[in-house]
Structure 1
């Protein structure tokens, strides 16, 4: 079993490595579902040896229909990830009709090689998962990250198991979303996946002693200003123990 941890910091990479994970998906803005991290974050993360580094290429939150400027940004971000020594990139583009944007996905794959390419949970927003599966296999994508087109892997297990059956050895189906120490054993036993993906975030109180509680840096819908979510090695180890 390969364990991939979704992290949003260099500290998260360190925690994942210390816990024995095989690989991380490095993101920014996990409240948005993950966006492309900065060059500085990728560079510092790459100094941590002994763990695989996948970089998400997603210019913004929201849907997966990108204009030409956003697509150009994605190409440049792939070049950055390659220059900084990433092992792989994580991409996802759709058409307005809810199909995989095959033409532009192919261009990003060509830009990324020889790095590994994962198609992320944009897959869960496709209108026909089996057609999307065959399209991505035809494009040569290495793996698909999916919750089975449901809010969590536990709910999406029927589709995930069918995708794994249909995929065979042609592509890796990697379940991800809502995997916890409480449900990991059931998911692993049911899906029989070769790889799984999960975040292991736990709340941590920030170190600021002086706090101005009525001032916020974000909008009306916001995370706590002084506290944060950090990657927990204990949570990673708890999930891995179920495999």
Structure 2
């Protein structure tokens, strides 16, 4: 039987603990999920590290939402965040950088890789918006990254199956492909069987209503962008279990 690995995209320490309870091998701790994930705070990383006992802790290093073309100041911030994560005892870091032309930003990546020595490194979904995925794969292997998180350059990993399969063949065991985005208990088995990929990234979240008794629903903390302040999405152990069992059954 194939040995699968399961990573949960955790948006809080609560989600990290649910992932661990559900049997996840690893979590990627992220803040700013509506922006696609940004670097979590010192306190959140530290608390997750203190409370996770069997599940490995990776953290995203991403100073902002938007594109993956970073200024020197942003790169400096990322280097400091990598050092912070190291000092807090994380197992791995997750980042990715592109040039204005959609190529892998090799000089910046080399700098970040040097700062990450001794940690597991995942090149994140910046890969999914690069110009030439086959060329990028070879460059990321050469950089020494351990894995690439990718949806096969599509909106979901299920839609990206053709490219995921081709990349898995091209990688030929030289790097791990981590299939993510829209992976759930309904499609994980299909993605695995059609691509040959053995690592999966998913959120397994459910919507939780706020316990607030008084609510002023006319005000949004996002200004004119309305986000429901009285509802949040949290990973549940049962959905993690269901997703893992869907591929093992």
- TM-score norm. by structure 1 comes to 0.98
Q: In the alignment, does 2:114 pair up with 1:110?
A: yes
d(CA) in 2 for partners of 1:222, 1:36: 23
The Cα offsets for residues 207-236 of structure 1, whole Å up to 9 and x where unpaired, read as 111111112211222320111111111111
Partner of 2:18: 15
d(CA) in 2 for partners of 1:215, 1:162: 48
d(CA) in 1 for partners of 2:160, 2:235: 25
Structure 1 window deviating more from structure 2 (220-229 vs 135-144): it is 220-229
Give the count of matched residue pairs.
Answer: 243
Q: In the alignment, does 2:99 pair up with 1:95?
A: yes
d(CA) in 2 for partners of 1:194, 1:187: 9
Structure 1 window deviating more from structure 2 (190-199 vs 112-121): it is 190-199
Shift of 1:28: 0.1
Partner of 2:163: 159
* Secondary structure in 2 matching 1:242: helix
Which 4+ stretches in 1 moved above 4 angstroms? none
Q: In the alignment, does 2:195 pair up with 1:191?
A: yes
Q: In the alignment, does 2:222 pair up with 1:215?
A: no
Which of 61, 64, 67 in structure 2 is aligned with 1:57? 61
Aligned partners of 2:92 and 2:120 also within 8 Å: yes
Shift of 1:194: 2.0
Q: Unmatched 5+ residue regions in structure 1?
A: none
* Secondary structure in 1 matching 2:57: strand
Matches within 5 A, 1:72-151: 72-151=76-155
- TM-score norm. by structure 2 comes to 0.96
Which of 68, 84, 99 in structure 1 is aligned with 2:72? 68
The Cα offsets for residues 126-174 of structure 1, whole Å up to 9 and x where unpaired, read as 1000000000011111000000000000110000011010101110011
Q: In the alignment, does 2:30 pair up with 1:27?
A: yes
Partner of 1:6: 9
The Cα offsets for residues 69-122 of structure 1, whole Å up to 9 and x where unpaired, read as 111000000000000000000011000000000111011011011000000000
